[in-house]
Amino acid sequence: MLQQIFAAQYELTTEEVVETRYRTETRTRTVTYTDPETGESYDEEEEYEVEVPYDYYILNVTLDNKGLANILLSAGLTDDQMMRYVVLMQTLGNKPDIFGDNPYAIAIQDVLHYDIPGEALTDERFRRMITE
């Protein structure tokens, strides 16, 4: 039953996108020159740049969550089973210290309202940092 609920609640889709992008490569070639005065030929290495296409792969992943409550409403639960689910959500699973106000996430302490002990402010560098 848990597998069925999980499969009904979540929908995972992936989409592969292939883009053609270009990078600059430096290549060398041999160029033959002829001296017009002497008629002698000589070879010289020459560097040049070329734009080379390559495939750039992107994988777009989407996870849709239809919500457990919506799934349970359409799962064919009896009135008694639905009432038990409602009570479980209202009582936070009888674990309010773990779940706090949100039954789906652990509450995080607000760090912006931290009271600094007065003795810590006697350190001049620390006090200036806190003041800043």
d(CA 43, CA 47): 13
DSSP code of residue 116: P
**Phi/psi of residue 116, each to 5°?**
-90, 130
pLDDT of residue 117: 74
pLDDT of residue 109: 44
pLDDT of residue 15: 96
Q: What is the pLDDT along the chain (132 residues), one digit of tens a residue?
A: 778 888 888 999 999 999 999 999 999 999 998 888 888 998 999 999 999 999 999 999 999 988 777 777 777 778 888 888 778 777 766 666 666 666 554 433 444 556 777 777 788 888 888 777
pLDDT of residue 23: 96
User: Locate tokens 């053609």: which residue?
Assistant: 20
From residue 128, how far is each of 22, 85, 116, 118, 125 by CA, in Å?
Answer: 52, 53, 13, 14, 5
